[in-house]
Amino acid sequence: MKGILITFFALAAGLLIFSGPVVAHHGSQGYDFSKRITLKGTVARFVWANPHCQIYLDAKNDKGNVVNWAVELNNPGNLVRLGWTHAVLKGGDEVTLVFNPGREGKPVGICADVLFSDGRKLHSTQGCGAPEEPEG
């Protein structure tokens, strides 16, 4: 009986956690959500616009060639809710990005952390699958 009760409450808790809107985000089939990569580089451009803000980062690959990565973020309004501003990044800034990369070697990314040299950290929930946080 006790086991049945525990199973019941576990299922109920699971339902509560996982019920709600499910989003098929554009491009989601093109990202590798099993992998996180870390890149240090120079911001080439920071786009503050709908439908999603974007960081373009120039980073050297293992052969020493510079690759321009395009990393998508939440939209501007939801980034404000997460503590970002339109001026938090600019071209020429040296930062480290941690994100899920594109499949098939495409230099794109999603669900990004931005680490600044002074210890600050910003997070974008876009593509991270956290239903209670502002995604979009």
Partner 1 sequence: MQHHPIRLVIGAVTLLMLSSVTFAQTSQPSGPPKAQAFDPHDLTGIWVRGKAPRGNAPLSGDRPPMTPWGQAKFSTVKGSFTYSRAPGIAPPIAPEKEWNDPMLQCEPAGYPRVMLQIFAPLMRFLQTSNEVVEFFEWGHTWRDIWTDGRQPIDNPEPTYYGYSVGRWDGETFVVDSNGFTDRTWTDPLGSPHSDQMTLHEVFRRVDHDHLELIVTLTDPKTYTKPWVSDKFLFDWAPKSPRSENEELREDFCIYSDQTYFFKNVDPVGASDAPVKNKDQ
Q: Which residues bind partner 1 (CB under 8 A)?
A: 18-31, 47, 49-52, 54, 70-72, 75-78, 80-81, 85-86, 102-103, 106, 108, 132, 134-136
Shortest separation between residue 70's beta carbon and partner 1, angstroms = 5
Shortest separation between residue 65's beta carbon and partner 1, angstroms = 20
Shortest separation between residue 115's beta carbon and partner 1, angstroms = 21
User: Which residues lie closer than 8 Å to 27 by C-beta, 6 or more apart?
Assistant: 72, 108, 110
Name the token pair of 117: 């040299």
Residue type at 59? A
Compute how many other C-beta atoms are within 10 angstroms of the C-beta atom of residue 121.
Answer: 11
Distances, alpha carbon 39 to alpha carbons 19, 25, 33, 87, in Å: 35, 24, 16, 21
Give Rg (Cα) of the chain.
Answer: 18
Shortest separation between residue 57's beta carbon and partner 1, angstroms = 12
Q: CB nearer to partner 1: give 19 or 65.
A: 19
Q: CB nearer to partner 1: give 82 or 115.
A: 82
Q: CB nearer to partner 1: give 47 or 98.
A: 47
